[in-house]
Amino acid sequence: MVKHLLSMQDLSSSEIKAILDEAAGLKEKLQKRESHELLKGKTLGMIFEKPSLRTRVTFETGMTQLGGHAIYLAPADIQLGERESVPDVARNLSRWVDVVMARLFKHDIIVELARYSSVPVINGLTNLHHPCQTLSDLLTIREHKGKLNGLKIAWIGDGNNVCNSLLLGCTLVGTNISVACPRGYEPPADIVNQARANAKKSGAKVELTTDPKKAVDGADVIYTDVWVSMGQEKEARERMKAFKDYQVNAQLLKGAKPDSIVMHCLPAHRGQEITDDVIDGPHSVVWNQAENRMHAQKALLVSLLT
């Protein structure tokens, strides 16, 4: 059976640990300039419906470092479901490439793509999940804190795709998570329920609140994201009003642990969800987090193809 990564729920806690261990090893090899061409002769097909800086560069560079090759397919190249049906695209790509990464608007499209693909499909982002980001986040937290189990993460802002994946990923590995969202912007109930089910097995705690100060209280990690994501531009005015008290700033950080770290999946809207002094300050690990996208995704590719 072909293994895909469409959501963090596709991985077990032991598989997550194995990917993070592999990522740490590959990162060390790169820093020492040691060759690690584990995917020589392999090809990654990359489907993009949404523009990207981090996803494209990290996957393409990572595949090159692994000795493979990546092909960028722009929105106009495929037009999934319009120029050609999703099943037909999957069947075609399966004959040419060894693995597919897709960055799409709708999650059901990547589910359909995976259903008809005979090669692994990786979710590079959909409206519902962003598992590659969470693997990078967990790698970054483990690097800075030395562990994952028993830590507390505070999510401040929108219950979006990054929040969804973080909820699932954290609860799989035993990390406590407190999510602070305005009413009406909470993560979907089915994802919260799945996270709670994971937490029962791992010993993690899941908290949902509307109070950012409560979420941040005693937190090891504070995480935020933009208030208006791609495709939500028409809601911008309404969202800015709803999220005005959810900014990650120096005052909010005072409630967290003194050695807390601050994360953001980027791109950041400085002065909105996060202030300059925080994202550029001593608590920020945002650039390490961005770098780790590449290392985590390389490990994922190796796990799927070897």
Q: In what order do the strands lie in the sheet with 99-103?
A: 69-73, 43-48, 99-103, 121-125
Token duo for residue 49:
């419906």
Predicted pLDDT at 232: 72
Which is the catalytic residue, given 225, 247, 283, 289? 225
Predicted pLDDT at 185: 96
Q: Domain containing 148 — which CATH number?
A: 3.40.50.1370
Same domain assignment for residues 78 and 169:
no
Which is the catalytic residue, given 4, 54, 129, 130? 130
Which is the catalytic residue, given 133, 194, 247, 272? 133
Same domain assignment for residues 71 and 210:
no
Has residue 1 been placed in a domain?
A: no
Has residue 251 been placed in a domain?
A: yes
Has residue 3 been placed in a domain?
A: no
| Half-sphere CA count of 60, side-chain side, radius 13 A | 12
Q: Which residues pair with 43 in a beta bridge?
A: 69
Number of domains in the chain: 2
Query: Mean of the pLDDT values across residues 107-133?
Result: 97
Same domain assignment for residues 31 and 12:
yes
Has residue 148 been placed in a domain?
A: yes
- 293 as an active site residue: the answer is yes
Same domain assignment for residues 50 and 163:
no
* Amino acid occupying residue 194: Q
Query: Strand runs (DSSP E) across the chain, as ranges?
Result: 43-48, 69-73, 99-103, 121-125, 152-156, 176-180, 206-209, 221-224, 261-264
- 103 as an active site residue: the answer is yes
- pLDDT per residue as tens digits for the range 7-26: 999 999 999 999 999 999 99
To the nearest whole percent, how much of the chain has pLDDT over 90? Answer: 92
Same domain assignment for residues 74 and 144:
no
Domain of 40? 8-130+293-305
Query: Mean of the pLDDT values across residues 276-300?
Result: 98
Average pLDDT over all residues of the chain: 96
Has residue 63 been placed in a domain?
A: yes
Cα separation values, 302 from 22, 32, 48, 63, 297, Å: 9, 19, 22, 10, 9
Which is the catalytic residue, given 56, 107, 283, 293? 293
- pLDDT per residue as tens digits for the range 211-260: 999 999 999 999 999 998 767 788 888 999 999 999 999 999 999 999 99
Rounded distance between C-alpha atoms, residue 238 and residue 255, angstroms = 28
Same domain assignment for residues 298 and 196:
no
Residue 203's pLDDT band, with cuts at 50, 70 and 90, is very high
Same domain assignment for residues 110 and 137:
no
Predicted pLDDT at 231: 72
Has residue 108 been placed in a domain?
A: yes
Same domain assignment for residues 123 and 166:
no
- pLDDT per residue as tens digits for the range 161-189: 999 999 999 999 999 999 999 999 999 99
pTM: 0.96
Query: Mean of the pLDDT values across residues 54-62?
Result: 97
Q: Which residues pair with 180 in a beta bridge?
A: 156, 209
